[in-house]
């Protein structure tokens, strides 16, 4: 028991130099955070572009329906709505 007490009361004078490791880990954290921000911005841009595509799809479908009511075929309506004459 005396042996355990002596080991526990010894003072440790050695200090580890972790300065370089801390700087590397800090840089890694900043890079990781930056890449997460870039990913979030990219996903938001994709989501906004999909909303735009959805709106264009609604306009195109309404154009098709309107042209089909005039008596043209579906193929002719698609051709007209795509900019054909």
Task: List, for residues 43-74, the tens digit of each pLDDT value.
Answer: 999 988 888 888 889 999 999 999 999 988 99
Map out the domains of the chain as residue ranges: 21-81
What is the crossing angle of helices 19-69 and 74-81, to 10°? 130
Q: Distance (Å, rounded) from C-alpha 21 to C-alpha 75?
A: 67
Q: For residue 76, is pLDDT > 70?
A: yes
Q: Distance (Å, rounded) from C-alpha 84 to C-alpha 78?
A: 9
Q: For residue 9, is pLDDT > 60?
A: no
Contacts of 62 (CB under 8 A, 6+ apart): none
Task: List, for residues 10-45, the tens digit of each pLDDT value.
Answer: 555 665 666 778 889 999 999 999 999 999 999 999
Q: For residue 6, is pLDDT > 80?
A: no
Residue 22 phi, psi (nearest 5)? -65, -40
């Amino acid at each position: 028991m005396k042996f355990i007490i002596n080991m526990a009361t010894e003072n440790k004078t050695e200090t580890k130099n972790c300065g370089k490791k801390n700087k590397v880990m800090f840089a890694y954290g900043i890079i990781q955070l930056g890449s997460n921000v870039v990913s979030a911005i990219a996903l938001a841009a994709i989501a906004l572009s999909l909303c735009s595509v959805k709106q264009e799809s609604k306009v195109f479908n309404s154009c098709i329906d309107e042209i089909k009511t005039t008596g043209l075929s579906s193929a002719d309506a698609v051709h007209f709505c795509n900019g054909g004459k």
